[in-house]
Amino acid sequence: MRTMIVIQKDVLLKSQVKGYTKKDGTVVKPYSNKTGHLVAPKKGGHKLSVPSQGSLFGGSSTPKTYGHHGSKFSGMVDKMYPQSSKHPKAPPKPKAYHPQSGEDGQRIGLFHPHTATKPKELRNPESVTTITPGGKVVKKLNGVRLRTWKGAPTTEAGWAEVSGQIDLEEPPLPESSDPKFKKKAASGVIVEEPDGRVWVISPTNQFGGYQNSYPKGKQDEGLSLQANAIKECFEESGLQIEITGFLGDIERTTSVARYYRAKRVGGTPADMGWETQAVHLVPGDQLRDFMDQTVDKDVADMLGGRG
């Protein structure tokens, strides 16, 4: 079950601009493409009540949960391995393995790996392109280099102060519409290229039932929603981003997620973490059709990708 969150005008403050109503009567959340001012990283450490231990890139995820859906690591990995009908106790053999190890050092098998497109296709603004883990990419795209983000934070305190956050007047995250089930806060980003294309991830082995989705994750303790979105984007897509504006909020099955608009300022999709088996660059007019889940199609509608 999913519910679109609609915020009243007096709550949205300066982020309010005109939204719209779909043909089926669903009110789509108004959004803003207002760019804010970069927030300068604060000097000194950020104190956390419960520091995290160990992450995909050297430290940084909460001890109890991890990943695109905030699941326990052990359970997440187990669900990535489909059971064989002939031998239910033994999973089928993967066709390939992810070059990145799991959080506890496990090899992550890929049962239906993607096929990468030719690197030069990344420069074609009308084509859907696919990058696989560790794959080849062009050196520069739309004036920004595609290379490893060497200065990426490696601690939760580092992520709390990560660059790319902006001074943006945004509404408080809405409460869950179901008082009997307090849903967790989450945040994600829609990373846009100057040519109108959007970066999309494919969760490993279609975890959670998603073939394609946007970088997103439940909010880690000690992180702002913006910092959390930047961290999740890097871990899932390998990209370094800068928030450019507030897009909207959507209530999902287990979370209430805030989505931001963002632009790529560094990183490379070849560095995608083990949670992702492919990263795609999708033209805006094809974005809605490329998403397989209704909730992600709604996000595309909020963005304007109604192809």
pLDDT, averaged in runs of 10, over the chain (307 residues): 41 36 45 45 37 31 39 53 58 90 93 97 97 98 98 97 96 84 93 98 94 97 97 98 96 90 98 98 97 95 72
Q: Are 295 and 255 in contact (CB under 8 A)?
A: no
Contacts of 237 (CB under 8 A, 6+ apart): 191, 199, 201, 215, 267, 269, 272, 276, 279
Question: pLDDT value at position 58?
Answer: 30
Question: pLDDT value at position 76?
Answer: 58
pLDDT for 154-182, tens place per residue? 999 999 999 999 999 999 998 877 788 88
Could you give phi then psi for residue 244, rounded to 5 degrees?
Answer: -120, -15
Question: pLDDT value at position 35?
Answer: 43
Question: pLDDT value at position 287?
Answer: 97
- Does some domain include residue 120? yes
Cα 207 from Cα 276, distance rounded (Å): 9
Question: pLDDT value at position 91?
Answer: 66
Cα 166 from Cα 126, distance rounded (Å): 30
- Does some domain include residue 156? yes
SS (H, E, C) 165-180: CEECCCCCCCCCCCCC
Q: What is the number of other CB atoms lying within 10 angstroms of the CB of residue 143? A: 6
- Does some domain include residue 100? no
- Does some domain include residue 75? no
Which domain range does residue 170 map to? 3-60+114-303
- Does some domain include residue 243? yes
- Does some domain include residue 65? no
Instruction: With CA atoms as reference, report the closest residue to 30 among 2, 5, 62, 53.
Output: 5
Q: Which amino acid is at 95?
A: K
Counting the structural domains of the chain, the total is 1
Cα 294 from Cα 297, distance rounded (Å): 5
- Does some domain include residue 261? yes
Q: Are 265 and 144 in contact (CB under 8 A)?
A: yes
Query: CATH number for the domain including 54?
Result: 3.90.79.10
Q: Which two tokens stand for residue 121?
A: 């296709």
The burial class, CB within 10 Å (0-12 / 13-18 / 19+), for 86 is exposed
- Does some domain include residue 96? no
